Amino acid sequence: MGKDDFVKEITNIEDDFTQWYTDIVRKAELADYTDTKGCIAIRPYGYSIWENIQNYTDKKFKEVGITNLYMPVLIPESMLQKEKDHVEGFAPEVAWVTIGGGEKLEERLCIRPTSETMMSTMYSKWVKSWRDLPILGNQWCSVLRWEKETRPFLRSREFLWQEGHTVHETQEEAEERTKMMLDIYADVIENLLAIPVLKGRKTPKEQFAGAVYTYTVETLMHDGRALQAGTSHYFGQNFTKPFEIKFQNREGKEEYAYQTSWGISTRLIGAVIMAHGDNRGLKLPPKVAPIQVVIVPIAQHKDGVLENVRKIYDKLNKNFRIKLDDRDNCSTGFKFNDWEMRGVPVRIEIGPRDLENNQAVLVRRDTNEKEIIEISKLEERLTSLLEEIQKNMFNECLKRKEEKTTVAYSIDEFIKNLEKNQGYIKTMWCGDVACENKIKELTGAHSRCIPFEQEHLSDTCAICGKKANTMVVWGRQY
């Protein structure tokens, strides 16, 4: 099987982006469909990516005082009903358990779509005094939301995520935590996943149900569609009042606490696929790749080749996530294509002639460039090369983000920009939800966020022409 034949198994990224994405998910063995409609099985290679995201993120959490806990997956209906906006926001996506042990339950139990209500109920038991605060809790778990249209990693009915829930003595402390956690998400996405983010605040229409306001980190995919990569919510006292999370303050008076919530999920795996992948398949940033380096022996049947290559592997295995592909049932060309499709950042080729010359061939997945290096210098070069690849992949995404960001001063210009160069569109906005609805109706785009870094593009709203002093970034979304 030649290189061209192998690549033909993946739909061209420019012809059908949706099918290209599905091909990558299945052929790179990241996930597969199950007999449970709308739910996927995450395969070991895909789960390893999630583990790397989880490990990096969890370390960042612990550095700022977050501790992990765990809450039940089943939530009584009466508990869910306590916060009006919250229950209305999630009602269409909730799955209910009505029978247990063969008997009808006295009260329906919802399968966790998110844990604000359960967390708040428990926090109300644990908080009595200002000395009990802050509570900085997080759980790594799965949630269930009855999505009508699903796509692996991006939107499935059951998915993995983390959800942090904190309780604070003051509004200022809670708001500071809301921003702090968003900054951690930006670090994870930019420094681990090599994807630049757009940070800002969601409009009231797009914010989390029950939040006072929502901060977001937005990312832009290869096709110019946006992906909400992580959110951090300031709840104020919207949950602490109905759930009676109150405490005796430093003056001896009783008052309600302030709360936050924040989360990222396995949709970040989808972001990595769609932001970095190409027509040869998956392309993984070295920091998050389950396998950073693969060694493919050339003419491995010849005397001494495998023996010497294994010695090199053993030495490199101490400092890199590395794989030795010594399969004897497929060709060298197939191995090359296979590991390219799986997105491994660096391939090392070593054959009899290389061993004679004390050298190896390094091939970069991001650029397909080759270089010859002395075997004795492999470790040093791999260290710097992986750093170069990580940086280059980020810069490539940043370049795309800049090229796919335009400015519109009118509805007509908005529509023209979106059709010609789908991506982020900056406009001034009057703040009226009617303008958001009009954009969605005409173009299918949504407001992505009100960026923290504001620009004054004009004095009027691009949608209705009224006075405006807020810049919003728009885009079609996943």
**Which pLDDT tens digit goes with each residue over 234-286?**
999 999 999 999 999 999 999 999 999 999 999 999 999 999 999 999 999 99
- Ranges of CATH 3.40.50.800 domains, the chain: 293-385
Angle at 268 between CA 364 and CA 112, to 5 degrees: 155
Q: Give the Cα separation of 103 and 89 in Å (integer).
A: 30
Which residues are registered as beta bridge partners of 134?
Answer: none
Q: What percent of the chain has pLDDT over 70?
A: 98
Q: Determine if the peptide bond prior to 134 is cis (ω within 30°).
A: yes
Question: For 27-39, what is the mean pLDDT?
Answer: 96
**Which pLDDT tens digit goes with each residue over 122-175?**
999 999 999 999 999 999 999 999 998 899 999 999 999 999 999 999 999 999
**Which pLDDT tens digit goes with each residue over 331-355?**
999 999 999 999 999 999 999 999 9
Q: For 405-475, which CATH superfamily applies?
A: C-terminal domain of ProRS (3.30.110.30)
What pLDDT, on a 0 to 100 scale, did the predictor assign at position 139? 98
Beta strand extents in 202-354 (DSSP E only): 213-220, 226-236, 246-248, 254-256, 258-265, 293-297, 322-324, 346-350
Question: For 318-335, what is the mean pLDDT?
Answer: 96
Beta strand extents in 237-340 (DSSP E only): 246-248, 254-256, 258-265, 293-297, 322-324
What pLDDT, on a 0 to 100 scale, did the predictor assign at position 90? 76
What pLDDT, on a 0 to 100 scale, did the predictor assign at position 87? 67
What pLDDT, on a 0 to 100 scale, did the predictor assign at position 389? 98
On average, the pLDDT of the chain sits at: 95
Is pLDDT at 84 greater than 80 in this prediction? no
**Close Cβ partners of 422 (under 8 Å, ≥ 6 residues apart):** 223, 224, 225, 404, 475, 476
Q: For 293-385, which CATH superfamily applies?
A: Anticodon-binding domain (3.40.50.800)
Q: Which fold has domain 3-276?
A: BirA Bifunctional Protein; domain 2 (3.30.930)
What pLDDT, on a 0 to 100 scale, did the predictor assign at position 151? 94
- Ranges of CATH 3.30.930.10 domains, the chain: 3-276
What pLDDT, on a 0 to 100 scale, did the predictor assign at position 8? 59
Q: How far apart are the first and last CA of the chain?
A: 35
Confidence label for 4 from pLDDT (cuts 50, 70 and 90): very low
pTM of this structure: 0.94
- Ranges of CATH 3.30.110.30 domains, the chain: 405-475
